[in-house]
Amino acid sequence: MSVNTGSNPANSDPADSDRVIIFDTTLRDGEQSPGASMNLDEKLRIAALLEEMGVDVIEAGFPIASNGDFEAVNEIAKRAKNSTICGLARSAKGDIERAAEALKPAVRPRIHTFIATSPLHMKFKLQMEPDEVYQQVVDSVSYARSFTDDVDWSPEDGTRTEHDFLCRCVEAAIKAGATCINLPDTVGYAVPEEFGNLVRMLIERVPNSDKAVFSTHCHNDLGLAVANSLAGVDAGARQVECTINGLGERAGNAALEEIVMALRTRQDVMPYTTNVKTEMITKASRLVSTITGFTVQPNKAIVGANAFAHESGIHQDGMLKNASTYEIMTPESVGLSESKLVMGKLSGRAAFKEKLGELGYEMGDNAFQDAFRRFKALADKKREIFDEDIVALVDDEIVRGNDRIRFVSLQVVCGSEGPQTADLTLEIDGEARQMKATGDGPVDAVFNAIKELTGYSARLQLYQVHAVTGGTDAQAEVTVRLEEGGKTVNGQGADTDTLVASARAYMNGLNKLLVKREKTAPSALSA
Ligand code: KIV
Ligand code: ZN
């Protein structure tokens, strides 16, 4: 079978027919998961990590969708050096122009344009005849090509599209200049054999198929997204669209970590390579989960907390004799190392800086001094400090950024004899303010105190606590999701005291809402 590497700039070596291009869409399709919205800083952090881990193409957003999306694509385009940066566009001229504008600073810009081609979507959603859709395929791809040499075209709901029409559209898209043909299983309906056959059929029947890279974009409604993507690769696709932790619309997309590790682990039956540094997978999973508030289920493949845990006695015995009895890949290969006791009370600035470097953090001087102060305070409270503690602490420091509302101190009275009371001091725009409030339980009392102090009330959609390490002195990492006027944000906070972590998380969410508010109507905080 012939395999297409096309003239796609994302594939640095077009002669390498076994190399699979990893196209990450965490920041676009992933962000479409309800509640997973991310702000600019968060998107920049994720994009930087994706690039560092060797992701070939980063779909950074849908520029016409909002100013926020435009800005994110534009800023990521300015910063990326190696990865191709992609912006999504419907087939309309305005969409393509907006994507091209956002991508202007990119070293390697890609426009991804799409239109639905299934009878169902054409009739009910687009209310267009097939010939009109066909014409839009030609027009949109040609127009996108007038801005960049790298154009990805997708027939939305491709797996439910009539084959002859799909072949006609794909041929026309390639003729109009598409360098990549992406086949979306938009509703996660396909099964692996069927999906593989569809890719094979297109490569075999479309006369100019050798001029483009074929790609998969599989949704997970039946839990088959990864299996379908791999079947696509086996049939000749050389790009996989996927997301960290499988984030995405409805049941999500194919999980990047599963695709990459399946290819790495089963070289015997899938002799394909990717450019991804798999040792960074755990870090990426953690970052996306912390930012979005979407926790990873413990038994999730590759990145779940139990993915490398061995509970039964028989398994533990086998592991002690030879790890490969029950482990098909090593924890180290996904960046999971034994929790290491790193430092303690006596560690100084130099050791702390070195540790940060080892964990992949670079901080400005002020942020470093703040993080070091918090590390010392933590070391006073917690006997053993692990890598995970440092990561939680530094992440917490990074998310604070230029917050207008800052935590100063908290005293809580709680227990079976209410009322639970929180005595909270915050710094708001540089001024210390204090408030006592009661509530239905200590968390409610803390949140009520914050609301009273800031005069700011948002709807709490999610409150989640996670222990960073084992032990009763572990740091708690709290995530909240707040909603105001249809806008949702996630807030994070970490501390050895769960209530302090909760206050920090709630304030982090409020600070993000404030930034959104400021963009539309700058205001002072009432109290
Ligand atoms: O699922 C889908 O069809 C998409 C397209 C925009 C590629 O996300
Ligand atoms: Zn999708």
CATH number at residue 507: 3.30.160.270
List Cβ neighbours of 320 (8 Å cut-off, separation of 6 or more).
none
* Lookup result for tokens 């965490």: 26
- The ligand 1 atom at the shortest distance from the C-alpha of residue 241 is 7
- Flag whether 526 is in a domain: no
Task: Compute the distance from residue 250 Cα to the ligand 1 centre, in Å.
Answer: 12
Tokens in use for 409? 């101190």
Task: Compute the distance from residue 185 Cα to the ligand 2 centre, in Å.
Answer: 8
390 and 436 assigned to the same domain: no
**Which residue out of 29, 180, 195 has the highest number of ligand 1 atoms within 8 Å of its CB and is therefore the one to mutate?**
29
CA angle 44, 229, 83 (to 5 degrees): 30
Amino acid at 67: N
pLDDT at residue 341, rounded to an integer: 56
Structural domain count of the chain? 4
Q: Is 69 in the pocket of ligand 1 (CB under 6 A)?
A: no
Query: Average pLDDT, stretch 473-477?
Result: 89
Pairing verdict, β 405-413 and 420-428 = antiparallel
Answer yes or no: is pLDDT of 171 > 70: yes
Q: What confidence tier does 7 reach under pLDDT thresholds 50, 70, 90?
A: very low
Above pLDDT 90, what percent of the chain? Answer: 66
180 and 206 assigned to the same domain: yes
pLDDT at residue 311, rounded to an integer: 67
Alpha carbon distance 126, 114 (integer Å): 12
How high is the mean pLDDT of the chain?
A: 90
Q: What confidence tier does 519 reach under pLDDT thresholds 50, 70, 90?
A: low
Q: What confidence tier does 521 reach under pLDDT thresholds 50, 70, 90?
A: low
CA-based nearest residue to 4, from 296, 232, 160, 229: 232
pLDDT at residue 10, rounded to an integer: 41
HEC secondary structure over 366-413: HHHHHHHHHHHHHHHHCCCEEHHHHHHHHHHHHHHCCCCEEEEEEEEE
- Flag whether 7 is in a domain: no
Alpha carbon distance 167, 488 (integer Å): 41
Q: Is 25 in the pocket of ligand 1 (CB under 6 A)?
A: no
Return the DSSP state at 219. Answer: B
CA-based nearest residue to 436, from 451, 417, 423, 425: 423
pLDDT at residue 342, rounded to an integer: 66
Q: Is 439 helix (H, G, I), strand (E, B) or coil?
A: strand
178 and 201 assigned to the same domain: yes
Answer yes or no: is pLDDT of 2 > 50: no
Q: 238 φ, ψ to 5°?
A: -125, 20
Residues surrounding ion ligand 2 at CB below 5 Å: 29
Task: Compute the distance from residue 156 Cα to the ligand 1 centre, in Å.
Answer: 6
Of the two residues 489 and 256, the one the predictor is more confident about is 256
Here the CATH number for the domain that contains residue 35 is 3.20.20.70
- Flag whether 12 is in a domain: no
64 and 88 assigned to the same domain: yes
30 and 86 assigned to the same domain: yes
61 and 188 assigned to the same domain: yes
Answer yes or no: is pLDDT of 175 > 50: yes
Answer yes or no: is pLDDT of 527 > 50: no
CB 216 within 8 A of CB 232: yes
395 and 428 assigned to the same domain: no
- How does pLDDT run across 52-83, given as a tens digit for each residue? 999 999 999 999 999 999 999 999 999 999 99
386 and 446 assigned to the same domain: no
- The ligand 1 atom at the shortest distance from the C-alpha of residue 28 is 8
Query: Average pLDDT, stretch 369-387?
Result: 86
- Flag whether 185 is in a domain: yes
Q: Is 114 in the pocket of ligand 1 (CB under 6 A)?
A: yes
- Flag whether 448 is in a domain: yes
pLDDT at residue 202, rounded to an integer: 98
Residue ending a domain, among 335, 352, 386, is: 335
Answer yes or no: is pLDDT of 6 > 60: no
Residue ending a domain, among 384, 399, 414, is: 399
Of the two residues 385 and 15, the one the predictor is more confident about is 385
- The ligand 1 atom at the shortest distance from the C-alpha of residue 156 is 3
Task: Compute the distance from residue 112 Cα to the ligand 1 centre, in Å.
Answer: 10
Answer yes or no: is pLDDT of 326 > 90: no
Taking the whole predicted model, whether its pTM rises above 0.85 is answered as yes
- Flag whether 299 is in a domain: no
429 and 385 assigned to the same domain: no
Answer yes or no: is pLDDT of 236 > 90: yes
Amino acid at 122: M
CA angle 475, 478, 484 (to 5 degrees): 160
Residue ending a domain, among 377, 399, 421, is: 399
- How does pLDDT run across 419-458, given as a tens digit for each residue? 899 999 999 988 999 999 999 999 999 999 999 999 887 8
228 and 194 assigned to the same domain: yes
Answer yes or no: is pLDDT of 418 > 50: yes
Please tell me the least confidently modeled range out of 37-46, 310-319, 479-488: 310-319
pLDDT at residue 486, rounded to an integer: 82
Answer yes or no: is pLDDT of 14 > 50: no
79 and 42 assigned to the same domain: yes
CA-nearest residue, atom 8 of ligand 1: 29
Alpha carbon distance 246, 325 (integer Å): 28
**Which residue out of 154, 159, 183, 253 has the highest number of ligand 1 atoms within 8 Å of its CB and is therefore the one to mutate?**
154
CA-nearest residue, atom 5 of ligand 1: 156
pLDDT at residue 1, rounded to an integer: 45
Beta bridge partners of 462: 481
Answer yes or no: is pLDDT of 323 > 70: yes
Q: Which helix (H) or strand (E) holds 143?
A: helix 130-145
Answer yes or no: is pLDDT of 487 > 90: no
Q: Is 252 in the pocket of ligand 1 (CB under 6 A)?
A: no
Task: Compute the distance from residue 29 Cα to the ligand 1 centre, in Å.
Answer: 8
- Flag whether 1 is in a domain: no
318 and 343 assigned to the same domain: no
Handedness of CA 357, 361, 364, 369 (dihedral sign): negative
- CA distances to 23, 170, 179, 216, 456 from 155, rounded to whole Å, are 17, 8, 14, 11, 45
* Structural domain for 479, as ranges: 402-515
- The ligand 1 atom at the shortest distance from the C-alpha of residue 157 is 3
- Flag whether 522 is in a domain: no
Return the DSSP state at 526. Answer: P
Query: Average pLDDT, stretch 86-90?
Result: 98
Answer yes or no: is pLDDT of 380 > 90: no
Answer yes or no: is pLDDT of 15 > 80: no
**Which residue out of 24, 186, 229 has the highest number of ligand 1 atoms within 8 Å of its CB and is therefore the one to mutate?**
186
CB 454 within 8 A of CB 525: yes
